[in-house]
């Protein structure tokens, strides 16, 4: 199953835009996803590992230790403000 990974804020610049990926079976939480993405892009992995980064799966914010399965969309959000 193809998963769309979105990046917001400063992460969008680091990632170079969204990614369409086929997640390996072992990627089932935030830590394993960041580790997997780090294999091909260490700079992105370091940015995603920052404590302030928030994470959503299928438009629902989840905790870093919460498991997910077969997501259609994953979003990473760095702190941002606006008005």
**Within-domain flag for 83:** no
**Within-domain flag for 22:** yes
Phi (first) and psi of residue 53, to 5 degrees: -70, 130
**Within-domain flag for 10:** yes
CATH of the domain at 57: 3.10.20.30
For residue 35, the enclosing domain spans 2-77
* Predicted confidence (pLDDT) per residue in 10-69, tens digit: 999 999 999 999 999 999 999 999 999 999 999 999 999 999 999 999 999 999 999 999
Say if CB 25 and CB 3 are below 8 A apart.
Answer: no
**Within-domain flag for 35:** yes
pLDDT at position 66: 95
Does 83 score more than 60 pLDDT?
no
What does DSSP assign to residue 3? E
**Number of domains composing the chain:** 1
């Amino acid at each position: 199953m193809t998963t769309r990974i979105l990046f917001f804020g400063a992460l969008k610049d680091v990632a170079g835009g969204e990614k369409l990926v086929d997640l390996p079976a072992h990627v089932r939480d935030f830590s394993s996803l960041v580790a997997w993405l780090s294999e091909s892009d260490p700079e992105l992995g370091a940015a995603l590992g920052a404590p302030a980064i928030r994470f959503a799966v299928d438009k629902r914010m989840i905790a870093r230790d919460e498991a997910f399965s077969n997501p259609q969309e994953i979003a990473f959000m760095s702190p941002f403000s606006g008005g």
